[in-house]
Structure 1
Amino acid sequence: MAITDVGIEAAKDMATFARGRKFQTILADPPWQFQNRTGKVAPEHRRLNRYPTMTLDDICGLPVEGLTREPAHLYLWVPNALLPDGLRVMEAWGFQYKSNLVWRKIRKDGGSDGRG
């Protein structure tokens, strides 16, 4: 797994936020990176440039497992096109897949995210 500087900084930010605390509920909406970055749904599409994204290795490398207290559960937002990646992230963070639910994302302007 190759962690980039972005992943290292994100891990530091998480540690700063946690301040040694442990959590039983993790709500995560990682900045997923799509393979097709020119597609209209990709956050880093040159026309939209919504926000910077992280590689799958960076997301998997986040120290989430170290921030949890048993028993813990995870709510992980994953775009439909990246479900296999989401399962990999769950495993890397020390969670097992149990069930899914629909998470309807709303943009800051109140519109639908449209990415599933």
Structure 2
Amino acid sequence: MKKYSVIYADPPWSFSNKKTGGSMKSGAAAQYDTMSIEQLKKLDVPAICADDCVLVMWYVGSQPQEAIDLCKAWGFTIKNMNGFIWVKLTEMFLQFFGMGFWTRAGAECAIIATRGKPKRASAAVRQVRLALIGRHSEKPAEFRADIEKLCGDGNKLEMFARQSAAGWDVFGNQVENSITINTKE
């Protein structure tokens, strides 16, 4: 079985509110299939990890404990809760005015976590990036390039991918999977 030294994940987090916003079609569940934290934990991610592996995982600001619990369930130790911060911009290059539970969201964060003792390939990768928004929950491709620079060579997997990218295996229900991830019972 192929083992990965880099896993880039954008889990389809479920929310208690299925639809939000004036159109009632802006919630995650109105855009794509979501998974509960228990379903996500059952994915046998440890089986596909190299001994030294980096996880970069986007999480929802209103669910930090779930993100921490998922990292732990997959066998990772968090190194930085805000390893990457995406400041969202509109097509007019204005700060995005999104939904939110306490404040209006204009940014998303990704955790950096590790298994074993992976080495950083570059110290020049910045934490904060301003980038245009795309489709609902779609992350800018620049982050994938930042991860490649940060982590260097090795087998790379994008979980819950929306499209294939050169040099990356993909897993998700919006792309043709290049691997299968089993579930634990």
User: In which range does the TM-score fall when normalised by the shorter chain?
Assistant: 0.5 to 0.7
RMSD, aligned CA: 2.3
TM-score normalised according to structure 2 size: 0.43
Structure 1 vs Structure 2: percent identity of aligned residues?
Answer: 27
3-state SS of the aligned residue for 1:71? Answer: strand
Number of residue pairs matched by the alignment: 88
Contact 2:28–2:34 (Cα < 8 Å) also in 1: yes
Question: Which entry has the higher C-alpha Rg, 1 or 2?
Answer: 2
1:31 to 2:12 alignment: yes
> Does residue 102 of the first structure (1) align with residue 85 of the second (2)?
yes
Residue 28 of structure 2: which of 35, 43, 64 is its match? 43
* Separation in 2, partners of 1:72, 1:78: 19
- 3-state SS, counterpart of residue 81 of structure 1: coil
CA contact (8 A) 2:10 2:57 kept: yes
Q: Greater RCO between the two (CA within 8 Å, min separation 6)?
A: 1
What TM-score, normalized to structure 1? 0.66
Q: Does 1:89 align with 2:70?
A: yes
Higher strand proportion (structure 1 or 2): 2
Distance 1:39 1:27 in 2: 27
Give a deviation string over 1:27-85, Cα, whole Å, max 9, x none.
Answer: 011110012223346301xxxx2001011100111111111002111001101111111
What residue is the counterpart of 1:73 in the other structure?
A: 54
1:22–1:68 Cα contact (<8 Å) kept: yes
- SS of the aligned residue for 2:31 comes to coil
Q: Where does structure 1 differ by over 3 angstroms across 4 or more consecutive aligned residues?
A: 103-106
Judge conservation of contact 2:8–2:56 (CA < 8 Å) in 1: yes
- Does the 8 Å contact 2:19/2:28 carry over to 1? no
Identify unmatched segments of 5+ residues in structure 2.
88-107, 109-132, 140-185
C-alpha deviation, 1:107, in angstroms = 2.5
